[in-house]
């Protein structure tokens, strides 16, 4: 087989492949065996008819066509491996010469990963938010906790923002009631503006037992976008009563005995969360700087594929949440043109990031072992709310294991970039990153704690069994 590679652009090549007919013997053997099982020739059992009779029965041209269809993908794969071409997507193939018992020639145009080097990826400087937690932020977090333990008490006064109401809603267009736009006994917090436009304004000042009508534009459902007369009836008015911030509340809402201990725990947890956010932010900013520092040509077909993948993902999410694209754009305060521009920019950035991390992994000889793949599947399964076994089975059945491998290796490449970065907060303090030894020590500590907990549980069970046996003996 003879192969000539022509570079059409930095991201696309054309292979011209010429193959003598004697190198197609395997393809013809497979073709004859397949056709022999399909044709019925008098005097021969199925699958036993000789090649010369099959040529006469189905036509030599049909046999050659079938053999070529079988041979071309194998020859193409052999050629790109021999020429060390990293192909992206499926090739555009054209047979240019096909002479029986002489030669097969074809061309294959395909997008390729661009050739470049990742240089100066160490020492990237990024600035992240401070991790310090203020007293006001602790108060706000404890306020959310108080809300969870709030009780409701009825009041006899006009409705105010923050009140919890039980209401009925009905709607009519031109005097005709809409059966699908009606709710009864609905719990609603005034001031959230979470339902129909004009509802909160109408409710303010009403009292339990009151009824009022207002005009609004319906959202969602069969009558979306139409103007309707909506009647609201207030059944009850209640207010939230928050528990006192004292030791009793700390014992109710947590495992701590005092409010000071609870506040300290909240501060500690918030600080740890903000430190994790610092790392995540540093990761994103370091990758963004790396992307901006390297000029990489992008195959437009690959970019378009990423655009379509992102568009389909958004459409699925909107369908699941019952939102239209128009409503989504309105909530994001974006025009269709701004959305498309953002979609394209994000897709190009994602494709470029993938190329850069892949190249860095090649340069640094990074790979992924079975344990790392298993950990990736476990983490993804937790995020998706499915069992690791289910996700692993899906990846195998859909031939996505290679995708998982790529994600793990890219993650390791990004770890290299982050490890070599200089990270400071807004006050100029250097953010120290955990070493591999520290990470291993933390993992070991967690494992030891879990093991100790298991031992304690078993000890407690053994003690309970011993007591029970002693009682039985008595």
Identify the band that residue 262 occupies on the pLDDT scale cut at 50, 70 and 90. Answer: very high
pLDDT of res. 137 = 93
User: 317 to each of 51, 314, 340, how far by Cα in Å?
Assistant: 55, 5, 17
Three-class SS state of 58: helix
Burial zone of 45 (CB within 10 Å; 0-12 exposed, 13-18 middle, 19+ buried): exposed
Strand 125-128 and strand 422-425: the pairing is parallel
* Domains in the chain: boundaries: 2-112, 151-241, 435-474
Q: Mean of the pLDDT values across residues 12-34?
A: 89
Place of tokens 């007919």: 21
pLDDT of res. 439 = 53
pLDDT of res. 45 = 65
Q: Choose the weakest-confidence range: 56-60, 78-82, 377-381.
A: 56-60
Does residue 467 or residue 171 have the better pLDDT? 171
Is 80 exceeded by the pLDDT of residue 149? yes
Q: What is the C-alpha to C-alpha distance for residues 202 and 230, in angstroms, rounded to an integer?
A: 10
Q: Under 8 Å CB-to-CB from 281, ≥6 apart: which residues?
A: 126, 128, 129
Place of tokens 């994600």: 407
Does residue 91 or residue 28 have the better pLDDT? 91
pLDDT of res. 447 = 44
pLDDT of res. 352 = 95
Q: Mean of the pLDDT values across residues 205-226?
A: 88
Q: Mean of the pLDDT values across residues 417-426?
A: 92
pLDDT of res. 12 = 94
pLDDT of res. 459 = 41
User: 23 to each of 72, 80, 97, 292, how far by Cα in Å?
Assistant: 12, 17, 15, 48
CATH architecture, domain 2-112:
2-Layer Sandwich (3.30)
Does residue 468 or residue 406 have the better pLDDT? 406
pLDDT of res. 118 = 93
Does residue 148 or residue 469 have the better pLDDT? 148
pLDDT of res. 201 = 94
pLDDT of res. 442 = 45
Is 50 exceeded by the pLDDT of residue 5? yes
pLDDT of res. 452 = 40
Tens digits of residue pLDDT in 93-131: 999 998 888 899 999 999 999 999 998 899 999 999 998
pLDDT of res. 467 = 38
Identify the band that residue 247 occupies on the pLDDT scale cut at 50, 70 and 90. Answer: very high
CATH (one of 3.40.50.970, 3.30.1490.20, 2.60.40.60, 3.10.50.40) for 151-241: 3.10.50.40
Q: Under 8 Å CB-to-CB from 430, ≥6 apart: which residues?
A: 422, 423, 424
CB count in 10 Å sphere of residue 19:
22
Identify the band that residue 437 occupies on the pLDDT scale cut at 50, 70 and 90. Answer: low
Give me the chain's average pLDDT, please.
86
Does residue 452 or residue 100 have the better pLDDT? 100
Q: Choose the weakest-confidence range: 46-55, 109-118, 314-323, 324-333.
A: 46-55
Does residue 460 or residue 289 have the better pLDDT? 289
Is 90 exceeded by the pLDDT of residue 35? no
Highest mean pLDDT among 346-355, 377-386, 437-446 belongs to 346-355
pLDDT of res. 435 = 57
Identify the band that residue 432 occupies on the pLDDT scale cut at 50, 70 and 90. Answer: confident
């Amino acid at each position: 087989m003879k192969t000539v590679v022509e570079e059409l652009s930095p991201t696309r090549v054309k292979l011209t492949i010429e193959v003598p007919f004697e190198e197609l013997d395997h393809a013809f053997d497979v073709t004859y065996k397949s056709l022999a099982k399909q044709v019925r020739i008098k005097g021969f059992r199925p699958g036993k008819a000789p090649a010369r009779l099959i040529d006469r029965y189905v036509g030599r041209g049909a046999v050659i066509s079938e053999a070529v269809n079988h041979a071309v993908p194998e020859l193409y794969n052999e050629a790109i491996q021999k020429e060390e071409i990293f192909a992206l997507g499926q090739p555009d193939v054209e047979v240019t010469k096909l002479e029986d018992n002489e030669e097969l020639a074809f061309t294959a145009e395909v997008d390729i990963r661009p050739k470049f080097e990742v240089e100066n990826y160490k020492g990237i400087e990024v600035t992240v938010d401070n991790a310090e937690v203020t007293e006001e932020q602790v108060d706000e977090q404890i306020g959310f906790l108080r809300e969870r333990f709030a009780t409701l008490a009825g009041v006899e006064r006009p409705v105010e923002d923050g009140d919890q109401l039980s209401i009925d809603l009905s709607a009519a267009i031109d005097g005709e009631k809409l059966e699908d736009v009606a709710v009864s006994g609905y719990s609603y917090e005034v001031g959230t503006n979470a339902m129909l436009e004009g509802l909160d304004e109408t409710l303010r000042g009403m009292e339990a037992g009151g009824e009022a009508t207002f005009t609004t534009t319906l959202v969602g459902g069969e009558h979306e976008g139409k103007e309707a007369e909506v009647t609201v009836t207030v059944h009850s008015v209640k207010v939230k009563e928050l528990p006192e911030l004292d030791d009793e509340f700390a014992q109710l809402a947590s495992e701590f005995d005092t409010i000071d201990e609870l506040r300290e725990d909240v501060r500690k947890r918030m600080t740890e969360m903000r430190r994790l956010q610092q790392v995540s932010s540093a990761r994103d900013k370091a990758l963004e700087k790396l992307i901006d520092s390297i000029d990489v040509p992008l195959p437009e077909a690959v970019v378009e594929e990423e655009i379509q993948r992102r568009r389909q993902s958004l459409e699925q999410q909107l369908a699941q949440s019952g939102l239209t694209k128009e409503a989504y754009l309105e909530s994001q305060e974006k025009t269709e043109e701004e959305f498309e521009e953002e979609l394209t920019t994000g897709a190009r950035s994602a494709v470029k990031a993938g190329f850069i991390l892949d190249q860095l992994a090649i340069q640094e000889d990074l790979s992924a072992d079975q344990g790392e793949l298993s950990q990736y599947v476990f983490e993804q399964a937790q995020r998706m709310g499915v069992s690791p076994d289910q996700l692993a089975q899906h990846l195998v059945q859909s031939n996505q294991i290679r995708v998982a491998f790529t994600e793990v290796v890219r993650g390791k490449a990004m770890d290299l970039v982050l490890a070599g970065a200089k990270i400071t907060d807004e006050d100029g303090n250097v953010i120290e990153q955990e070493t591999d030894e520290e990470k291993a020590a933390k993992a070991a500590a967690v494992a030891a704690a879990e093991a100790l907990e298991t031992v304690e549980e078993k000890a407690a069970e053994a003690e309970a069994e011993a007591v029970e046996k002693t009682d039985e003996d008595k």
